[in-house]
Amino acid sequence: MSKVHVKSGDRVFVLAGDDAGKRGKILEVLPRSGKVIVDGVNIQKKHTRPTQTNPQGGIVEKPGPIDASNVALVCPSCNKPTRVSNVRSESGKLTRQCKRCGKSID
Ligand SMILES: [Zn+2]
């Protein structure tokens, strides 16, 4: 079981670190390290060697992992960073519910 409270595709708000205040979409969850990769956050610049497809070489920018505890889920309904509660629906499926507006997030 993963303790990460967000999942791939979620929109999140960054609470701490160099990119605090930014919003982005979760590209990847790394459950083993408890980290997430958020689009546009914690950008790592990597120099690449020239290759056949990219003869110039250059700098590749890609988002690096940040601690999942540093992000808050953004509710798609009220568009604010929020905490969620897990609610079991009548069909027995667990869904996440926004604690601000009470709308289902999944
Ligand atoms: Zn909400």
Q: Return per-residue pLDDT of the chain as tens, 106 residues.
A: 457 889 999 999 999 999 999 999 999 999 999 999 999 999 999 998 898 888 888 898 999 999 999 999 999 999 999 999 999 988 998 899 999 999 999 8
**CA-CA distance, 14 to 98, in Å (whole number)?**
17
CATH code for the domain of 45: 2.30.30.30
**CA-CA distance, 3 to 35, in Å (whole number)?**
10
**CA-CA distance, 66 to 52, in Å (whole number)?**
32
Task: Give the chain's domain count.
Answer: 2
The predicted pLDDT at position 61 comes to: 93
The predicted pLDDT at position 10 comes to: 97
> Is there a single domain that holds both residue 64 and residue 103?
no
Ligand 1 centroid to residue 45 C-alpha, Å:
35
The predicted pLDDT at position 37 comes to: 98
Ligand 1 centroid to residue 79 C-alpha, Å:
6
Range of the domain at 85: 77-106
> Is there a single domain that holds both residue 7 and residue 43?
yes
> Is there a single domain that holds both residue 40 and residue 65?
yes
Indicate yes or no: pTM above 0.85. Answer: no
Classify each residue of 26-39 as buried b or exposed e, where b means 16 or more C-beta atoms within 10 Å of its C-beta: beebeeeeebbbbb
